[in-house]
Amino acid sequence: MPDRHHAPEIFDYVIVGGGSAGCVLAGRLSERPDRRVLLLEAGLDDRSLFVRMPAAFVRVLGTERTWIYSTESEPGAKGRSLHVPQGRTLGGGSSVNAMVYIRGDRADYDGWHDAGCPGWGFEEVLPFFTRSEANERLAGRFHGTDGPLRVTDTPYRHPLNAAFVRAAQECGARYNDDFNGEGQLGTGFYQITAFAGERGSTARTYLAPALRRQNLAVRTRALATKILLRDKRASGIVYLDLSRQPVTVAANREVILAAGALATPKLLMLSGIGPADHLRDLGIEVAHALAGVGSNYQDHLETPVIARTREPISLYRSDRGFAALRHGLQWLLFRSGLLTSNLVESGGFWDLDGDGRADLQFHVLPVIVGDVDRAPLPGHGLSLNPCGLAPKSRGEIRLRSTRPSDPVQFRGNYLSSDDDVDVLVKGVRMARRFLGSPSLARLIETELMPGDGVDDDDEAALADYVRRFAKTVYHPAGTCRMGSDAGAVVDPQLRVHGLDGLRVADASVMPTLVRGNTNAPTIMIAERAADFIQRSLN
């Protein structure tokens, strides 16, 4: 289809994806007034009360501000199709997530370094975490206080979240008031990316201040369909505008992909960059063979343990009737109260095998939750969600067709490793111990899931429960792996191997998942990419 523009607009940098990473890149790269920057986002702007209101993120999932990716039938999950929502709005995941600010373990980054990514050890990435951060309470070696990203304690704490923190300590966990400090292990309350009672996405903290600059252009509803190459160099992008007409923009210096672990490999393959045989099978001309594109897919899974409370003290029906009106007015007038909560206020990290690194993380919600395709059980209750942090299962992303609008062929291969099942089985048992501790037992009437029909000593029944009910935590990563070997997609400076002028800067470059939520590490990756680019100009 011909481009309706004869002479493409020319920018120095074209960034594809206006999510957590893309907004960071747009903010940082536009700091130089002599560089023209274009940010392309396939979704909408972030002007929505449900985006700004922290507790309302559940109202955004499944709307036009999210993509819902669905896997093929997963043999390890009883043939189910698992669903992975991703941001489709400025700010991406940071506009629709639970805002938990977690970096991961020191060993995660040292492991990247040792696996062929020099410059990515913990001591080398720490300055980019602190550079990004404006922590409200913490300072010193591990925390920044004057960066763009606002990090704060949860302003509202539900009694059930507080009860969980006490219960975990009654079961032997130490209290940890800084999961991003000296050590990750223990239980406590999460810090979140918020300020003044509102969500602090990268769209609000990095991008919004930069929009005053004349050298930055931002285009929403702009679906990138192809990376243009000239003599093994990325020279621009073709995207579809709001009227679904193709528009070409040129990049004098670099094209930077920040569309996420599901969309970034898709765009590469649509552009003829990826596994040669797969591209040929679809009739796509191979512009640059790169076998690792779309491979090494990883994600965190959690398995719900749900209990009914004795009294009506959970968030059940708090979004309806007079309760909803009261909470809404309190937030609108004072930016305080329940709606300032990220809901996932408490949790923690546990080492199961004694190596000093967390194997399990808990996300605790003071309400009974379901999944994208499963309605929650009715009534008041509590959801404890043990999450496996170092999955061994690996999946892949492939094209379903050559049409950019078609969803990818997505095989997570979830729970293909029995070790991943074993970790979650241990997590279910641990959650049950927490429910039986004094601080929670006095509040709990009965366990609903797994329930009395699944005995704690029945390993097979617990494993079956995990395979039937495990769900993703929406942390896809690894599909454009960083490294120095033949299977890597980008080098340690995030440049696509074998091509000039093309980088990837999102969670897809992670060689292995970090132990924890992935938003803060993705922001760090974008900070590093901006630094690599700026240093190359000096």
CA distances to 46, 124, 492, 518 from 342, rounded to whole Å, are 18, 30, 34, 16
Q: Which of 147, 369, 409, 157 is nearest to 269 (CA)?
A: 409
Residue partners of 105: CB distance under 8 A and separation at least 6 = 184, 357, 358, 514, 515, 516
CA distances to 169, 365, 383 from 434, rounded to whole Å, are 9, 14, 12
Q: Which of 484, 395, 529 is nearest to 114 (CA)?
A: 484
Distance in angstroms (rounded) separating the CA atoms of residues 104 and 205: 22
The residues annotated with a catalytic role in the active site are 475
Tokens, residue 343: 């809901």
Distance in angstroms (rounded) separating the CA atoms of residues 491 and 485: 9
Tokens, residue 506: 């999102």
Tokens, residue 250: 């040129």
Q: Are 136 and 153 in contact (CB under 8 A)?
A: yes
Ranges of beta strands (E only) in 180-313 are 186-189, 191-192, 194-195, 198-199, 216-219, 223-229, 234-240, 246-257, 273-274, 288-289, 301-302, 305-309
Amino acid identity of residue 243, one-letter, is: S
DSSP run (H or E) holding 130: helix 122-132
Q: Token match 């050559």: residue? A: 402
Residue partners of 117: CB distance under 8 A and separation at least 6 = 482, 483, 484, 492, 511
Q: Token match 């997505």: residue? A: 410
Distance in angstroms (rounded) separating the CA atoms of residues 305 and 433: 11
